[in-house]
Amino acid sequence: MARVLTGIQSSGRPHLGNILGAILPAIELSKNPENESFFFIADLHSLTTLKDGALRAEYVRAIAATWLAFGFDYKKNVFWRQSRVQEHTELAWYLNCFTPFPMLANATAYKEKSEKLSDVNAGLFTYPVLQAADILLFDANIIPVGKDQKQHLEMSKDIAVRFNQLAGEEILVLPEAKIDDRIMTIPGIDGQKMSKSYNNYIDIFLPENELKKVTKKILSDSKALEEPKDPDSDVTFKLFSLIASESEIAEMRSNYTNGGYGYGHAKQALLACILEKFDEPRRIFNYYMENNEELESILVAGEEKARSVAQHTIGKVRNVLGFSS
């Protein structure tokens, strides 16, 4: 039995890139009966960049509702908010004291963020330590993440090794990143990587009229309707290919190459495809967004399960460090 663990920051509503690149592959892994999955909402991590509490609470609900909308089995697995299980922050402090300063100073994600952001706070710097605590608290074996998280996972492992050296035994389980190279980078409406920080994302849960406005904005060249078009260099076609069936993709491809088919037609087809393929997730998402109490009770039940595992690990760590009563 392998323990799979991953977290998503509550720094925005999940977009198509997060869903295809992170949420769906993790849910797939969770369906393997050999695995036990621990999926959480990294709301403490989101504080490094998002200070507005009301917005964070809304994003937490949206992320939770997305996992549920795509069928994550929260009863069989463990599903919680990081901030509600205080052992995350307790372990993060201990691990801070096992983390060499230069290791954090060399972190690529930190360097990139500190160049881009005006608020370069200490939380941003120690972000990987909290992430290590998230993982090590639950004896997690497999951590499905995007390529950008590779270094953070190496740091988690390194920090665990340092702690275990002091303890003289393997108190903290060494985690392995699972980076699926087959998962492609989903392009945003401007053709760059889809990301909330580039404001180029597609929120598939928007009402139809708003979703239509977003799909209309997708970048295209200025070829006239009659002209043949190259599907492989077009963003609408790329997005369509990620969600449509093989026959639908083949049909759109020939429409492009034949000519007489405008980008407006392709955008309409993409919108229709999103509405059709994600009809059920859209309904479940809206249901949970409107039934807050039900969502809350699912998260509270998950917290209890997470806490009992976390308390076991933190007890062992406190013992090693001389913090137990």
Report which of 143, 155, 152 is spatially closest to residue 99, judged by C-alpha positions.
155
Q: Does 65 bind ligand ADP (CB under 6 A)?
A: no
Q: Which candidate in 31, 76, 111, 113 is catalytic?
A: 113
Total chain residues near ligand TRP (CB under 6 A): 13
Q: Which stretch binds ligand ADP (CB under 6 A): 142-150, 241-249, 276-284, 316-324?
A: 142-150
List CB contacts of 105: < 8 A, sequence separation 6 or more. none
Using the minimum distance from each CB to ligand ADP, give the nearer residue, 156 or 313: 156
Q: Is 196 a catalytic residue?
A: yes
CA torsion sign, 220 to 225 to 229 to 232? positive
Using the minimum distance from each CB to ligand ADP, give the nearer residue, 195 or 220: 195
Binding mask 180-199 for ligand ADP (x = CB under 6 A): -----xx------xxxxx--
Q: Does 149 bind ligand TRP (CB under 6 A)?
A: yes
Calpha distance 150→26 (Å, rounded): 16
Q: Is 193 a catalytic residue?
A: yes
Q: How far is CA 268 from CA 51, 87, 151, 217, in A?
A: 37, 48, 40, 12
Using the minimum distance from each CB to ligand TRP, give the nearer residue, 42 or 204: 42
Q: Does 25 bind ligand ADP (CB under 6 A)?
A: no
List CB contacts of 273: < 8 A, sequence separation 6 or more. 240, 243, 244, 248
Calpha distance 260→39 (Å, rounded): 47
Quickly tell me which residue has 């990081």 as its tokens.
Answer: 82
Using the minimum distance from each CB to ligand TRP, give the nearer residue, 155 or 274: 155
Calpha distance 97→95 (Å, rounded): 5
Q: Does 134 bind ligand TRP (CB under 6 A)?
A: yes
Task: Count CA within 13 A, CB hemisphere, residue 149.
Answer: 25
Contacting positions for ligand ADP (CB under 6 A): 8-9, 17-18, 21-22, 145-146, 148, 185-186, 193-197
Which residues are catalytic, by number? Answer: 113, 193, 196
Contacting positions for ligand TRP (CB under 6 A): 5-7, 9, 42, 45, 131, 134-135, 143, 145, 149, 152
